[in-house]
Structure 1
């Protein structure tokens, strides 16, 4: 009796790869990413402020006078160069300045001056909603 030749057994990995890609896409879509590091900022209050959409270019000014653009901590001297790198996107979408309520006025003016030198004309200053417990003055 002649021996029949068997074809080699192969495992089809295509369904397994499809499932792995579907899981990867599911986790990418369902995961929230925290892009901002927690800073202890106390934003000034505003009674007439309006909610605005988030801008991809946000400049943070701390109470100590330090600057942060994105994830980079900056000195006052490096602020101009850092804004120049983000100027195109800031001109298109605007710049949001998140200055601590205890920040010096000079630090905020320095940031606004550097933004003006880069041609950034749409600048918003972030505030918090005024609390209703304060007495209104006539």
Structure 2
């Protein structure tokens, strides 16, 4: 005697909801993640005892220990420095130019920046320093 077998539909996994969830997670992490816009450089700023924090956003030019330059996110060599600074000259005239030079950078590299700033009529130039730690005072006892 022959028994009739029931036809079973093949089992399928519907991937559409899974893909939707993965895309939602991707969008969530893309929106909630903060990105560092400024690359970290290992700069050792020279110390200064007098100075004040700035209230506006000046143009910042970084001088590395190796004699390289960076203006915003652009890496520059000495030949490109004048042209790049000319592009930011109007902003620098309004809000000033801050030179963040590594303490181990050569003096000539910093002077090159100051010379290019003078050629672009940028007169509000500041050199960034880090604040010194207050030295402990020792009182003498008689």
Answer yes or no: same fold by TM over 0.5.
Answer: yes
Give 1:101 shift. Answer: 0.6
Q: Please say if residues 61 and 103 of structure 1, whose CA atoms lie closer than 8 Å, have aligned partners that are also in contact.
A: yes
Aligned equivalents of 1:134 and 1:101: distance in 2?
A: 24
Aligned to 1:10: none
The equivalent of 1:95 in structure 2 is 97
Indicate if the aligned counterparts of 2:61 and 2:100 stay in contact, CA closer than 8 A: yes
Query: Unpaired segments of 5 or more residues in structure 2?
Result: 1-30, 138-142
Task: Classify 1:32/1:71 alpha carbon distance in 2 versus 1 (closer, same or farther; 3 Å).
Answer: same
User: What TM-score does the superposition give when structure 1 sets the normalisation length?
Assistant: 0.71
Which stretches of structure 1, 4 residues or longer, exceed 6 Å deviation after superposition? none
1:132 Cα offset (Å): 2.5
Of 64, 74, 77, the residue aligned with 1:75 is 77
Quote the residue 1:36 is aligned against: 38
Counterpart CA distance in 2 for 1:50 and 1:32 is: 29
Q: Residue 124 of structure 1 corresponds to which residue in structure 2?
A: 126
**What is the aligned-residue RMSD (CA, Å)?**
2.3
Inter-partner Cα distance in structure 2 for 1:33 and 1:113 = 34
Aligned residues: 109
Q: 1:26-49, CA deviations, whole angstroms, 9 ceiling, x for partnerless residues?
A: x6xx97653211011010100112
Give distance in 2, aligned partners of 1:72 and 1:103.
19
Change (3 A) 1:120 1:43: same
Whole-Å separation in 1 of the counterparts to 2:102 and 2:47: 11
Query: Once the two structures are superposed, what CA deviation does each residue of 1:60-106 show, in whole Å capped at 9, x if it has no partner?
Result: 00011100000000000100000001111111111111000111111
Cα distance in structure 2, aligned partners of 1:95 and 1:31: 31
Q: CA deviation at 1:134?
A: 8.1
